[in-house]
């Protein structure tokens, strides 16, 4: 089988490469390392490109740019993939407002280039799109909350399991990044539903793992550990540091993609995160890192939260577990932290 992976040297892309290569597939990666342009040296993933090319003889790398329609078509014609895993994105709230053209060109137009060439040249194949929970904008902030000692939490029994796919993505503040991902998300759904193509949309929560080339503006958990290891000053943006996210390991993300490949549901949307069991606040993260590494994270507090940011977000995994009963979270929050700690000492 031939697998095409965009942003193949990023966190999810590189995990998808390793997962696919281990299955014996021929894997083709598209990655022009725009993350280095977005985030500077912290975001540079060239180290991962070198690692993947050296480790896997069945991995084939291309510095292709998904914004270039002719390049995308050429790759589809040459490879004729059986499975497309689309991870490429401009992923930062803050950067999107500073470079809105680049953000939209990568997130929306790049995705459309892939979808249309997929439809034209490999309509029998499967396609998964890595969307984001930011398509819900600040809507989750309208849910009644309760303030606990170290975190905020939902104070509404309707959301005891978290945010489901039924939550509205409309009439709220998204950030420019969130809006460009909404455009791509809805377009991917439409190609699945209108054309009957095997396309699945996965709205990720906090995706994490030790392969993350994290930067201050993206890659929360990996960057917190980097701050601890390198004694960087970390800035907490609002909400008393009690904002909550659910963490899902990259391996569990990619295994969800393959669950869809085996049992595709055209045009369906899935919220994909660690769930309430894998949720943690910033303050709780600091304490857990202190216990594991014996170091206190140097930090400062800003009253200004990031525009459109969630106070609490964790994923209701009911739909995922219903459609794919053999899929499950294999990496607990404790295992995720222990994995980071092992490479941070």
The tens digit of pLDDT for each residue in 245-297 reads 999 999 999 999 999 999 999 999 999 999 999 999 999 999 999 999 999 99
Q: pLDDT (tens digit, 9 = 90+) per residue, 70-120?
A: 999 999 999 999 999 999 999 988 899 999 999 999 999 999 999 999 999
Residue 172: pLDDT over 90: yes
What is the average pLDDT value for the chain, to the nearest integer? Answer: 96
Predicted confidence at residue 277, as pLDDT, reads 97
The answer to whether 138 touches 209, Cβ cutoff 8 Å, is no
Lowest mean pLDDT among 33-42, 49-58, 268-277: 33-42
Domain boundaries, the chain: 2-344
Residue 129: pLDDT over 90: yes
Predicted confidence at residue 94, as pLDDT, reads 87
Per-residue DSSP letter, 172: S
Mean pLDDT of 46-61: 97
The CATH superfamily label for domain 2-344 reads NAD(P)-binding Rossmann-like Domain (3.40.50.720)
The DSSP line for 233-264 is PEEEESGGG--EEEEEEHHHHHHHHHHHHHS-
What are the two backbone dihedrals, phi and then psi, of residue 209, each rounded to the nearest 5 degrees? 155, 160
Predicted confidence at residue 37, as pLDDT, reads 86
Q: How far is CA 178 from CA 116, 131, 169, in A?
A: 22, 10, 10
| Dist CA 42 CA 21 (whole Å) | 27
2-6 and 26-30 as β-strands: parallel, antiparallel, unpaired?
parallel
């Amino acid at each position: 089988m031939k697998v095409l992976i965009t942003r193949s040297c990023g966190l999810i892309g590189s995990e998808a490469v390793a997962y696919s290569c281990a299955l014996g597939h021929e894997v083709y990666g598209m990655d022009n390392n725009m993350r280095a342009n977005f985030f500077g040296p912290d975001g540079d993933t060239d180290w991962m490109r070198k690692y993947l090319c050296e480790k896997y003889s069945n991995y084939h790398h291309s510095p292709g740019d998904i914004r270039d329609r002719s390049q995308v078509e050429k790759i589809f014609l040459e490879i004729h993939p059986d499975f497309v895993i689309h991870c490429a994105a401009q992923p930062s709230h803050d950067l999107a407002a500073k470079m809105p053209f680049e953000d939209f060109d990568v997130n929306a137009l790049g995705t459309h280039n892939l979808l249309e060439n997929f439809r034209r040249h490999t309509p029998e194949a499967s396609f998964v799109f890595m969307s984001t929970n930011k398509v819900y904008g600040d809507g989750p902030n309208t849910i009644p909350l309760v303030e606990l000692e170290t975190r905020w939490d939902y104070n509404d029994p309707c959301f005891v399991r978290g945010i489901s796919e039924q939550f509205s993505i409309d009439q709220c503040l998204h950030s420019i990044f969130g809006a460009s991902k909404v455009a791509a998300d809805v377009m991917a759904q439409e190609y699945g539903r209108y054309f009957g193509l095997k396309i699945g949309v996965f709205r990720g929560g906090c995706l994490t793992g030790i392969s993350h080339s994290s930067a201050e503006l993206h890659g929360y958990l990996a960057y917190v550990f980097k701050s601890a290891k390198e004694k960087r000053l970390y800035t907490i943006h609002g909400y008393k540091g009690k904002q909550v996210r659910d963490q899902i390991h990259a391996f569990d993300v990619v295994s969800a993609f393959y669950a869809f490949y085996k049992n595709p549901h055209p045009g369906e949307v899935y919220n994909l995160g660690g769930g309430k069991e894998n949720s943690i606040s910033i303050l709780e993260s600091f304490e857990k890192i202190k216990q594991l590494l014996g170091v206190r994270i140097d930090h400062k507090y800003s009253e200004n939260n990031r525009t459109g940011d969630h106070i609490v977000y964790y994923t209701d995994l009911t739909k995922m577990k219903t459609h794919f009963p053999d899929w499950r979270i294999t990496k607990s929050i404790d295992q995720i932290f222990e994995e980071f700690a092992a490479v941070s000492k």
